[in-house]
Structure 1
Amino acid sequence: MKRLLTLTLCITAALKGFTQAPTAGQTYSFSVADCINYAFEHKDSVINAGLDVKSADYKVKETIGQGLPQINGSASFQDYLKVPTTLLPGEFFGAPAGTFIPVKFGVKYQSNLGVSATQLLFDPSYIVGLQGRKTYKELYNRAYTRSKIDAQVNVTKAYYQVLVSNEQIKLLDANIAQLKQQVDQTTAQNKQGFVEKIDVDRIAVQYNNLVTTRENTIRLLALNYQLLKFQIGMPIEYNLILKENLSDVNINGDVAETVTDTTFYRRRIEYGLTETNLQLSRYDLKRIKGQFLPTLSANASYANSYQNNSFGSLYSTSFPSSYIGLTLNVPIFSGFQRTNRVKQYAITVQKNENSLNGLKNALNLQASQAKIVYFNGLQSLNNQKRNQELAREVLRVSKIKYQQGVGSSIEVTQAQTSLEDADNKYVQSLYDALVSKVDLDRAYGKIQ
């Protein structure tokens, strides 16, 4: 039995050393805030949302550019392999009436160089586009904020998962240490004839199961570290060390003030995004209505024409032309297309208004649910703490009774099982409470 226990401890120590060995790559020591800031700079979803903000800014500049002068240059060259022929009435040249004389007009080489410009003077759609450019940029800025909030929530939960797994390993280590002592004592008592072999085997089975549980938990801890690295956008091969522990986490902070806030939904990024979409749909409706109004633009052109039968002398003589003018486009009738388009956009506005009202109710419901889950989680955590202490006390008394000969090894085994179960439930309740606190803060708009 001693050889078996020694071999088990050696394997466990080797596995622990393998798991904690530093991985290749850089090493970081992060708090929760450090992980969140790292995710803001490296998480692909956050980076892409930031690129969308830049793209929206360029889109706004593109829209503004539609109201600036539009200048274009043009150049052309023609080599008439056969100069076009035109038929003229014969009587122009003294020929009989009804006859035609073929005449070639033009030269072999022709070229034109010109520049034209247009300037928008009045366009209701352009004016509305300028009015909505701030709202358009705000939409992508809020989408960027939402991606950062999502990253912050996911990173915090992943960080807490690692802390809870570490806590679970500490509890397992404590149980393994005291159970190892109990195995040694029971083995010694068996050699002295005070206890039966079955008592030693029963405790050894429990010990081996606990060692196996610890090994599995260590592997899960390594996986949780990888999940945290994934959430912050860190390469898996990098080594990450957590600076904080569970004692640094304040589960009860600012809860009373949070749950009494009745206007929290206005801080929710989802509400802001829906508001922005509603405002943009109103601008779209206004833009479509503007299509009933005329548009006015100014235009100008200057060109040089070159013609010659000799290519070498083509550009020796130019024939310039230029003009300036105004273009007025007045919509008269479009087969009721514009009217029906206005009605469609008006319906879109109504739908977005309904969505905003529905979202307000949904956010209130979500907050109420998060509050209940949080308080239930706290109560369960406190209850599991008490159960854990009671189970530890029951185990202590059972061991004393067994050592004094007034109890059985079965009672000790059952007490040990109860303590392990209490530890597992405590760890689960601890994680649930931490996660519910994060969900509560998000539900009430405290994560920005």
Structure 2
Amino acid sequence: MKYRISILLAFLGFFAQAQERLTLKDAVNYALQNKAEAVKARLDVQNSEYQIDEVRANALPQISATGGLTYNAIIPQMALVMGDQVQVIQMGTPWQSNATVSLNQQIFNQAVFTGLKAAKSTREFYKINAQLTEEQVIEKVANSYYEAYKTESQLTTIDKTIDNTSRVRDVIKSLFDNGLAKKIDLDRIEVSLNNLKSNRQQTINALQLQENALKYLIGMDMNQDIELPENTFEVTKHALVDESVNIENRTEILLLEKQGELLALNKKAIEAQAYPSLSMNANFGYNGFGQVLPWFAKPADGVYWSGASAIGLNLNIPIFNGGSVKAKVRQAQIDIEKLEADKRDTRLGLDLELKNAVTQLNNSLITLNIQKENVNLAKEVLTNIENNYKFGLATLTDLLDAETQYADAQNNHTNALLDYKVAEIALIKAKGELKSLTQE
């Protein structure tokens, strides 16, 4: 029996350790490390380094080697007339082989150099995009986290209400047993208690669904149990916006600016198609031929080798392309102008978001204070009616109504807390400080 108890305690200790206490900071950092969107954004940044290497390779020397071996099963012949005689000459030998090393180097190619600048800007674009992706993940996780916490707080409220109703039920039962209360009063309080238990089960189910949604958002195993700390919903002092806040520092604006830079480079790359280009090429090789396989053979074997080399410059001057480059340049300019329109609209939207976030936070704080006062008043009313009911100065209906109002006040306070926290997240986002949630 002693060993069974030890094994049971060991299992209980294992499951207790398996439950993870998850703060908002932990949830956000876990998501940034494991959520697919964040992981892929980091991989895009890593991949941009390889894109730069690929473009840089076009500006570096291109060296290649070729080789070949040919056996002429039937050697062609040519007839030559020399005087009055016709002579047939064999063109070639049965065996031929060659080996050549070639080099090509771009000396001036505006398209290649512009492409290298664009590749470096693309790396910066992916870095900013990764930052924006992280901010979007943080916002989703924070909102989902507070939604789950709201439901958990509602569950706590229901548990307190059940405890309080059970205590009242026990009082009514005692009065009924002593002939001081009616059977209908006891039945009504039992119905109310059963309804609360039903609501509790529904809230548990809702909480489970929300916790699963939260685990999905952060990329956590669905089998991992989580626990939200009790102090998550505390109201924190948050600095409101002043005139120094600049939306130009928002990631959305930085991303559009970098996109504009890429579009400008794209236009230059298209214009470069009309520029002259200059490259150098060189090659060096050996040709072997003879009556036998040329490899490792000597002139004594009837095999001869000769070397060949050439160095040249290639100049390409576009003269007329039917106006295709001009049309492409105009299309690229249209893309730039469309992006400028997006910038103006984005700035307007971010300014609206900032002002709305401040307004919403202030209104949420006012509502939160009102609901907190309501909770205190409802609790005071419930206490008074409970005392009055014991002395026959209040009806059961008054008591049940007071309990309902107290529970509603607590739930309204919880909802107001959620609204405040969501508004706080919106303000932090509007100020471009979502990354601060990873350090709280």
Q: Secondary structure at the match of 2:368?
A: helix
- Percentage of identical aligned residues: 28
Cross-structure match for 1:39: 31
2:6 matched to which residue of 1?
none
Farther-moved stretch of structure 1 (386-395 vs 433-442): 386-395
User: Per the alignment, do residues 244 and 190 of structure 1 end up closer, same or farther by CA in structure 2, a change over 3 Å counting?
Assistant: closer
Distance 2:284 2:43 in 1: 42
- Say if 2:35 is the partner of 1:53: no
Deviation at 1:314, TM superposition (A): 7.2
Which deviations, in whole Å up to 9, do the C-alpha atoms of 1:226-266 show, x marking residues without a partner?
3332222221222334456236x4443112xx2x2464312
Q: In structure 2, what is the equivalent of residue 278 of structure 1?
A: 260
SS in 2 for 1:266: helix
Q: Which residue of 1 aligns with 2:238?
A: 253
Contact map agreement 1:23 1:237 (CA 8 A) in 2: no
Indicate how the Cα distance of structure 1 residues 315 and 382 shifts in structure 2: closer, same or farther if over 3 A, else same: farther
Give the TM-score of the pair, scaled to structure 1.
0.87
Counterpart CA distance in 2 for 1:165 and 1:131 is 52
The change in CA–CA distance for 1:300 and 1:27 in structure 2 (over 3 A counts) is farther
User: 1:72 & 1:41 partners in 2: Cα distance?
Assistant: 43
Change in Cα spacing, 1:37 to 1:203, as seen in structure 2 (3 Å) is: same
2:178 and 2:38 map into 1 onto residues whose CA distance is: 67
More displaced, 265-274 or 385-394? 385-394
Distance 2:333 2:238 in 1: 46
2:199 matches 1:213: yes
Aligned to 1:72: 64
What does residue range 294-313 of structure 1 map to in structure 2 within 5 Å?
294-311=276-293
| Deviation of 1:168 (Å) | 2.0
**Partners of 1:202 and 1:123 in 2: how far apart?**
90
Distance in 2, Cα, partners of 1:442 & 1:393 = 39
Matched, 1:193 2:175: no
2:386 alignment counterpart: 399
Deviations 1:278-316 (A, max 9, x none): 111011111212222101111100011111121266753
Amino acid at match of 2:262: L
Partner secondary structure for residue 64 of structure 2: strand
Q: Compare 322-331 and 21-30 and name the one that shifted more.
A: 21-30
Cα pair 1:24 1:237 within 8 Å, conserved? no
Cα distance, 1:22 vs structure 2: 7.3
Task: Say which of 388, 400, 420 aligns to 1:413.
Answer: 400
Mark the CA change 1:342 to 1:315 in structure 2 (over 3 Å): closer, same or farther. farther
C-alpha distance in structure 1 between counterparts of 2:95 and 2:279, whole Å? 35
State whether structure 2 residue 127 is matched by structure 1 residue 141: yes
Task: Extract unaligned runs of 5+ from structure 1.
Answer: 1-19
Q: Is the 8 A contact 1:370 1:440 kept in 2?
A: yes
CA gap of 1:108–1:24, structure 2 versus 1, over 3 A, is farther
Q: For 2:82, what is the secondary structure of its paired residue?
A: helix
* CA shift for structure 1 position 24: 9.9
The normalised TM-score by structure 2 is 0.89
Aligned counterpart in structure 2 of residue 94 of structure 1, from 71, 84, 89: 84
> Which of 115, 119, 144 pairs up with 1:129?
115
Q: What SS does structure 2 have at the residue aligned with 1:107? A: coil
Provide the rounded CA distance (Å) in 2 between the counterparts of 1:199 and 1:24.
Answer: 42
Q: What SS does structure 2 have at the residue aligned with 1:331? A: coil
Amino acid corresponding to residue 197 of structure 2 in structure 1: V
- Asked if the contact 2:96–2:294 (Cα under 8 Å) also holds between the matched residues in 1, the reply is no
State whether residues 109 and 309 of structure 1, in contact with CA within 8 Å, keep that contact through their aligned partners in structure 2. Answer: yes
The RMSD of aligned alpha carbons is: 2.3
Amino acid at match of 2:237: N
Alignment partner of 1:265 out of 237, 244, 247: 247
* Equivalent residue number for residue 108 of structure 1: 94
Which whole-Å CA distance do the structure 2 matches of 1:243 and 1:24 have between them? 15
Partner residue in 2 for 1:6: none
- The reply on whether 1:81 has 2:67 as its aligned counterpart is no
Aligned equivalent of 2:415: 428
2:97–2:294 Cα contact (<8 Å) kept: no
Contact 2:59/2:112 (CA < 8 Å) preserved in 1?
Answer: yes
Task: Tell me which of 338, 341, 344 is aligned to 1:354.
Answer: 341
Maintained 8 Å contact 2:158/2:196: yes
Partner of 2:4: none
Q: Whole-Å Cα distance in 2 between the matches of residues 174 and 21 of structure 1?
A: 28
Distance 2:19 2:82 in 1: 98
SS in 1 for 2:238: coil
CA 1:165–1:23 in 2, change beyond 3 Å: closer, same or farther?
farther
Structure 1 counterpart of 2:8: none
> CA–CA distance in 1 between the matches of 2:259 and 2:363?
36
Rounded Cα–Cα distance in structure 1 between residues aligned with 2:87 and 2:210:
95
Question: In 2, Cα distance between the equivalents of 1:213 and 1:435?
Answer: 25
From the superposition, tell whether residues 73 and 147 of structure 1 become closer, same or farther in structure 2 (CA, over 3 Å). same
CA distance in 2, matches of 1:252, 1:203: 42
In structure 2, relative to structure 1, the CA distance for the partners of 1:151 and 1:134 (3 Å cut) is same
What is the distance in 1 between the residues matched to 2:14 and 2:402? 38
Distance in 2 between residues matched to 1:337 and 1:221, nearest whole Å:
61
User: Which AA in structure 2 matches 1:253?
Assistant: H
